Amino acid sequence: MDLGLQGRKAIVVGGARGIGYAVAEVLAREGADVALSARGEDSVKDAVASLSRYGTKIVGKPVNVKKAEDYKTWLEWAIRELDGVDVLIPLSSAGGGIGSEKYWHNAFETDVMGPVRAVDTVIPVMTEQKRGSIVLVATTSALEAMGGPQAYNAMKASLITYGKQLALAHGKDGIRVNVVSPGPVEFEGGNWDMIKGTMEKFYQSQLRQQPIGRLGRPEEVARAIVFLASEAASWCSGSHLVVDGAFTNRTHF
Ligand SMILES: NC(=O)c1ccc[n+]([C@@H]2O[C@H](COP(=O)([O-])OP(=O)(O)OC[C@H]3O[C@@H](n4cnc5c(N)ncnc54)[C@H](OP(=O)(O)O)[C@@H]3O)[C@@H](O)[C@H]2O)c1
């Protein structure tokens, strides 16, 4: 299947590790130019160097999405470097945390305003060219009780509503918007790797609940995200795709 991504221009916010890096890699492999970011200067540099082997234009610069002005400057820089933007995948996340108001502020600024600020910047460009695709990344922790009453789950849930509203508002502009909710995904240096090392019992209990007998891998989620972002998904908009190896214990009518 041709995904129609050859020569397309994609912004991946939070693309230096894990699912975001895997998304950037699938995009590059499919022939797209990619601009990526994260806060870590070295991780951005390494990701750009590694992805350049696919032969498309790969650019990156560190930015903190919580700093609104810097982030807007970064987004405008990325659009200039790519000479446009066809695909936006903003997936920076502050992760979980419980017991302090600071986690709410952090999750709001990173997990909600990260995507919102990027959407606000790219929508006028996509509207002008009458073409664009956005994929927001939520989590199965927004869909079922998981990890206690924490900001991460609630803030991610808001993206599912936001994504649908965007799809309704901008379909007429040629812009599709979809949401992907991954189940637990494990990779070296990621949250589940950390949980495995620090909360072994919790990790094992989650592992036992996985119908496929293991956690997900970044590329397994990335392929679903990139499909929805691509021309091959031209009739998919306003959808919410759960990618979790059947982990969530409910029927998705
Ligand atoms: N892994 C899972 O099990 C899982 C499950 C469901 C949903 N998800 C979602 O999938 C997405 C990717 O998760 P992941 O686990 O693969 O990666 P992750 O460890 O959550 O890292 C996300 C990326 O965002 C960057 N980032 C974090 N805060 C940032 C900020 N303030 N400004 C700019 N960049 C920032 C990180 O780099 P720096 O730290 O260098 O900034 C990193 O590149 C997230 O939205 C996450 O919530 C993950």
- Whichever domain contains 198, its CATH number is 3.40.50.720
Establish if 63 belongs to a structural domain: yes
Cα 148 to averaged position of ligand 1 atoms, centre (Å): 20
Report which protein residue has its CA nearest ligand 1's atom 37: 38
CA of 18 to the centre of ligand 1 (A): 7
In a domain, 253, yes or no: no
Identify whether the C-beta of residue 246 lies closer than 8 Å to the C-beta of residue 212: yes
Q: Is the pLDDT of residue 112 over 90?
A: yes
Q: Could you give the number of structural domains in the chain? A: 1
Judge whether 252 lies within some domain: no
Q: Does residue 150 fall inside a structural domain? A: yes
Amino acid 17: pLDDT: 97
CA 104 to chain centre: 19
Length of the chain: 253
What does DSSP assign to residue 241? E
For 133-178, how does the pLDDT look when each residue is reduced to its tens digit (9 = 90+)? 999 999 999 999 888 899 999 999 999 999 999 999 999 999 999 9
Strands of the sheet with 132-137, listed across from one edge: 58-60, 33-37, 9-13, 87-90, 132-137, 175-182, 240-243
State the Cα–Cα distance between residues 43 and 166, nearest whole angstrom: 31
Rounded-to-integer distance, Cα 95 and Cα 74, Å: 22
- Answer yes or no: are the C-beta atoms of 178 and 137 closer than 8 Å: no
Please give the model's pTM, rounded to 2 decimal places.
0.98
Q: Which residues does ligand 1 sit against, CB inside 6 Å?
A: 14, 16-20, 37-40, 43, 63-66, 91-95, 110, 137, 139, 182, 184-185, 190-192, 218
Q: Mean pLDDT across the stretch 53-58?
A: 98
Residue 119 lies in a domain: yes
Give the closest residue (by CA) to ligand 1 atom 32: 64
pLDDT, one tens digit per residue, over 184-195 is: 999 999 999 999
The amino acid at residue 148 is: G
Q: How many angstroms is it from 128 CA to the middle of ligand 1?
A: 30
Residue 62 C-alpha to ligand 1 middle, in angstroms? 14
Whether residue 249 lies inside any domain: the answer is no
250 within domain boundaries: no
Reply yes or no on whether the pLDDT at 6 is more than 90.
yes
Which runs of E-coded beta strand occur in 112-174?
132-137
**What is the extent of the structural domain holding 155?**
9-243
* Range 201-222 average pLDDT: 96
User: What are the Cα distances from residue 83, in Å, to 9, 65, 123?
Assistant: 8, 21, 15
